[in-house]
Amino acid sequence: MDDTYDVIILGTGLKETILSALLQKKQMKVLNIDRNRYYGGEAASLLLDQLYQKFRQADPPKQLGDPRYWAVDLCPKFLMASGKLTHLLRVTRAIKYMDLSLIPGSYIANSGTIYKVPATAGEATTSTLLGVFERFRFKSMLEFINDFDPAKKYKETALTTRQFFANYDLSVHAIEFCGHALALQIDDSYLDRNCVETIIKIKLYADSLSRYGSSPFIYPQWGLGTMSEAFSRLCAINGGLQMLEKKVVEIAYGEDGKVAGVVLDEPEGKVTIKASRVLSDPTFIAECKAERVKQTSAIIHSIVFMKQPVPETKKSSAVQLVIPASQAKRKSDIYIAAVNHTYQVCGEGWYIATISTTQENPTANPDTELALAYKLLGNTFAEKFTWVTPYYTPEPAAADGLFVSESQDPSTHFELATQQVLEMYKNITGEEFDFDQPIPESEDM
């Protein structure tokens, strides 16, 4: 192994591995290091024995079958079919190393009941989630959004989102599912921001839906961790190097106050690997250079194994379910992603539901904040794993060559995470990523 690189990347989370592939493609010499023995970081997919060792320090029960048939996601996320991450997979050709499948449906909780989200003008006219007369007003709004062109000027673009919805006389429930299940906003602060933001988000949902006709979401066979593996493989094919199960104890600096590399704790002693840039997952930096990150909140995660599908979803093989904050008497939405064995993530007949939300009561049992989620899932679980992780945001970047990513947000998609990746790419290279690179016809989805 060489001892000098252009960039050392700490962590193999999705953000870090995407950047490893993009930077290696720019002819930078990249070394990717992780303390774990698996790829993915906060978005990893663990084999059953890895999951039980991580949370129980025990072997999985025999009733769950062969551990190799399980790939359990640590966060509840899907890909938007027309989103930036999907486009990035295609442009970089990382998609060659994955097998993506459609998620059948998107749902929202309302008054203790689960409803399918009406995402098209046709569905809006029949949805029981809307009042009879409201359905046509909602249909009219969706038609406006479908024809919306961000380059043109409309009288509506001067409005806040709250005012935009008021133009269509939408009820509180209609606004709730429109903002949280279509625009996928994480709280209600969006209502007082300019409506163009929400219109574009709803349009992305609609464009993603139109790509396959029945759902805007897609998901990789064998779990989310395959995306990190795909980008890592792409980095390696282009000459990058990955090292797992390595402990970084220090960021090394030169006399000029700039990054000079990292220090590993190896059996033979401390080893320094040189680089002029270090890009890091925030959990690494929190341990060895804590002043560069700030814990702004915490995320509650829960994984449950079930023998039954999510109730009221027509026995769907996979669903996204959003529980708006107001339905759970909270400030933050609760997100659920549920998948079954047809996605090669668990044994036959099993379902895995992964739940995530922002922690609001640090002194309470985390499970109490997820009570409504458990109830909507049926409250009958063979296994349950609940834990809390800090949510770190990086302090303003210094001109010292250290770049830190932000923790994985609790939403059920990767749009915010991908945007953060693109911003970091520009900070590191000084260039915008070129999405207009030609995509070979054989790579198109």
Q: How far is CA 236 from CA 99, 162, 226, 232, 438, in A?
A: 20, 48, 15, 6, 22
pLDDT band of 130, cuts 50, 70, 90: confident
CB-based burial, 401-413: b 16+ in 10 Å, e otherwise = bbbbbbbbbbbbb
Of 190, 212, 234, the one marking the end of a domain is: 212
**Mean pLDDT of all residues in 336-356:** 96
pLDDT at 438 over 60: no
Res 249: pLDDT: 94
Nearest to 306 by CA among 345, 357, 358: 345
- Residue 236 and residue 204 share a domain: no
> 269 and 130: one domain?
no
- Name the β-bridge partners of 160: 194
pLDDT of residue 279: 96
pTM of the model: 0.91
- pLDDT tens-digit series, residues 353-383: 999 999 999 999 999 999 999 999 999 999 9
CATH code of the domain in which 149 resides = 1.10.405.10
pLDDT of residue 35: 93
Q: Which of 212, 236, 258 is the last residue of a domain?
A: 212
What pLDDT is attached to residue 443? 42
Closest-CA residue to 106 (of 127, 88, 90): 127
Residue 445, pLDDT above cutoff 50: no
The boundaries of the domain holding residue 132 are 117-212
Q: Stretch 306-319: mean pLDDT, rounded?
A: 93
Mean pLDDT on 345-356: 96
| Residue 117 scores a pLDDT above 90 | no
User: Taking the alpha carbons of 283, 285, 290, 296 in that order, is the dihedral positive or negative?
Assistant: negative
User: Number of C-alpha atoms within 13 angstroms, CB side, residue 69?
Assistant: 14
Average pLDDT of the chain is: 91
User: Tens digit of pLDDT for each residue in 186-226?
Assistant: 889 999 999 999 999 999 998 998 888 778 999 999 999 99
Residues 302-307 have a mean pLDDT of 97
* Position 1 confidence tier, pLDDT thresholds 50, 70, 90: low
Domain termination site, one of 212, 243, 259: 212
Report the CATH number that the domain containing residue 422 is assigned in CATH: 3.50.50.60
The total of structural domains in the chain comes to 2
Q: Which residues pair with 269 in a beta bridge?
A: 266
| Whether residue 246 has pLDDT greater than 60 | yes
Same domain, 18 and 154: no
Residue 1 burial (10 A CB sphere; 0-12, 13-18, 19+): exposed
Residue 437 has pLDDT above 80, yes or no: no
- The reply to whether 365 falls in a domain is no
- Verify that 140 and 181 share a domain, yes or no: yes
Question: Tell me, what's the pLDDT at 69?
Answer: 92
pLDDT level of residue 115 (50, 70, 90 thresholds): confident
Inside any domain, residue 230:
yes
- pLDDT score recorded for residue 119: 59
For residues 121 and 193, membership in a common domain is answered with yes
- Tens-place pLDDT, residues 50-102: 999 999 999 999 999 999 899 999 998 999 999 999 999 999 999 999 999 99
* Alpha-carbon torsion (158, 163, 168, 174), positive or negative: positive
